[in-house]
């Protein structure tokens, strides 16, 4: 059975990329979004070569290059001393080694670029302001005007589409929270690099900082152990006391910078246990809806983009049930390995005392090319593609 029409629940990075990838394969889709307007919450994100390679295939690289920053490196620094621990080159090095760029930009900018591309495709249609409480086939058919051949759940960690899948586990709180903050470049202290991604490693907490060329700001994300404030991505009213507590043993200049942020937003970090991604017939989850992970490997957006592109490839080649099974068989080992790398990074970033000293010594004596080799399996990954591309 040729697949002609797909319903996509959710218009985030995963859903919009899926619609665009399907259109490139001649498959029509309707993207269903509960929000009246697509206003992306959050702040910056990192797009590593495994993701930008796909976005290039979808014709988006030139637009991205006009607004993003390609950082010169990822620098690891001590959160208590501000000294450099290690550095991984990016920039021209990334393009040469991994044959694709590494870029940072605001999440809303990426979503706008994807939305513009989807809007320019005659095979794509976006329906906003449409809340789905029960994703029955009848409800989706009423919205789409026809019965979809396949339903793609791209509606995030608290997915509604997950109701269609027996054995799909609910999301669980990871025990960590992220504080997302923005500083204007002119207000940022001089220890924040303007051309790099900097990860400050401190006791039980780490802080990632990088410039956003598209907004003229510095993106700050602090991750630490914390309480679960409940569902939602904008807990701006609370968390200030906990934020100060998380940085109490850090360098005074870092604490001063954090104290100066006007509106830190606390996000609970939920993750998905391993479970079913599909009903093996006509419904498949992608991105965070299938396998939300904590951001210790900076691969959340990249996994969503990989999922969307590879699912479109499978759906273009075979019947829905076969395509769904093939997709899950290929993607699950990849995601599992990324999850393990994130858990390892979490341990390494947050160690204290003698373990932290040992970590710093090991990293300091490793040459940058050896650190880069550790990332090859992530960044060199190439989603399968066809000669007609």
* pLDDT tens track for 185-240: 999 999 999 999 999 999 889 999 999 998 889 999 999 988 887 776 566 645 68
Please say whether the beta carbons of 180 and 42 come within 8 A.
Answer: yes
Which secondary-structure segment (H or E) carries 363? helix 353-364
Higher-scoring residue by pLDDT: 142, 352: 142
CB count, 10 Å around CB of 220?
24
Q: pLDDT at position 293, please? A: 86
Q: What is the Cα–Cα distance from 309 to 19, expressed in whole angstroms?
A: 9
**pLDDT at residue 247 tops 50:** yes
**pLDDT at residue 388 tops 50:** no
Q: pLDDT at position 274, please? A: 85
**pLDDT tens per residue across span 339-380:** 999 988 887 777 677 767 777 777 776 777 778 899 999 999
Q: Does residue 181 lie in a domain region?
A: no
Q: pLDDT at position 389, please? A: 44
**Per the structure, how many domains does the chain have?**
1
Pick from 73, 156, 69: nearest CA to 109: 69
Q: pLDDT at position 1, please? A: 60
Q: Does residue 284 lie in a domain region?
A: yes
Q: pLDDT at position 25, please? A: 95
Q: pLDDT at position 234, please? A: 62
Q: Does residue 196 lie in a domain region?
A: no
Give 9's strand partners.
Answer: 32, 153
Q: Does residue 235 lie in a domain region?
A: no
Mean pLDDT value across residues 156-174: 90
Q: Does residue 198 lie in a domain region?
A: no
The single-letter DSSP state of residue 247 is T
Q: What is the Cα–Cα distance from 113 to 63, expressed in whole angstroms?
A: 7
**pLDDT at residue 134 tops 60:** yes
Q: pLDDT at position 387, please? A: 44
Q: What is the Cα–Cα distance from 36 to 20, expressed in whole angstroms?
A: 21
Mean pLDDT value across residues 69-88: 94
| Predicted TM-score of the model (pTM) | 0.94
Higher-scoring residue by pLDDT: 44, 98: 98
Q: pLDDT at position 345, please? A: 85
Q: pLDDT at position 239, please? A: 63
**pLDDT at residue 12 tops 60:** yes
**pLDDT tens per residue across span 250-292:** 999 999 999 999 888 888 899 988 889 999 999 999 999 999 9
Q: Does residue 359 lie in a domain region?
A: no
Q: Does residue 225 lie in a domain region?
A: no
Torsions phi, psi for 163 (to 5 deg): -60, -25
Question: CATH number for the domain including 139?
Answer: 3.50.50.60
The single-letter DSSP state of residue 86 is E
Domain that holds residue 286: 5-71+101-171+272-346
């Amino acid at each position: 059975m040729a697949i002609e029409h797909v319903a996509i629940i959710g218009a985030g990075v995963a859903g919009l990329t899926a619609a665009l990838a399907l259109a490139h394969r001649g498959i029509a889709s309707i993207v269903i979004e509960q929000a009246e307007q697509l206003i992306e919450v959050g702040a910056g994100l990192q797009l590593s070569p495994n993701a930008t390679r796909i976005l290039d295939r979808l014709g988006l690289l030139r637009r991205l290059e006009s607004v993003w920053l390609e950082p010169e490196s990822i620098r690891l620094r001590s959160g208590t001393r501000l000294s450099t621990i290690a550095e991984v080159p990016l920039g021209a090095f990334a393009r040469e080694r991994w044959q694709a760029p590494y870029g940072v930009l605001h999440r809303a900018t990426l979503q706008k670029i994807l939305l513009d591309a989807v809007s320019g495709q005659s095979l794509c249609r976006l329906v906003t302001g449409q809340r789905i409480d029960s994703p029955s086939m009848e409800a989706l058919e009423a919205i789409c005007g026809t019965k979809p051949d396949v339903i793609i759940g791209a509606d995030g960690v608290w997915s509604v589409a997950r109701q269609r899948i027996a054995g799909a586990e609910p999301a669980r709180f990871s025990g960590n929270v992220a504080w997302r903050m923005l500083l204007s470049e002119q207000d940022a202290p001089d220890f924040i690099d303007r051309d790099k991604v900097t990860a400050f490693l401190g006791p039980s907490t780490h802080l990632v900082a990088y410039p956003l060329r598209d907004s003229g700001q510095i993106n700050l994300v602090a991750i630490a152990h914390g309480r679960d404030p409940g569902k939602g991505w904008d807990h701006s009213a609370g968390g200030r006391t906990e934020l100060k507590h998380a940085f109490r043993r850090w360098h005074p200049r870092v604490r001063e910078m954090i104290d100066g942020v006007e509106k830190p937003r606390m996000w609970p970090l939920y993750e998905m246990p391993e479970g079913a991604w599909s009903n093996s017939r006509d419904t498949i989850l992608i991105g965070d809806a299938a396998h939300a992970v904590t951001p210790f490997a900076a691969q959340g957006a990249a996994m969503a983009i990989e999922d969307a592109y590879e699912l479109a490839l499978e759906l273009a080649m075979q019947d829905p049930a076969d395509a769904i099974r093939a997709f899950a068989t290929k993607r699950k080992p990849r995601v599992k390995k990324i999850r393990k790398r994130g858990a390892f990074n979490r341990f390494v970033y947050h160690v204290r005392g003698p373990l932290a000293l040992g970590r710093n010594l090991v990293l300091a004596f490793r040459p940058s090319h050896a650190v880069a080799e550790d990332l090859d399996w992530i960044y060199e990954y190439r989603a399968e593609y066809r000669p007609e591309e």
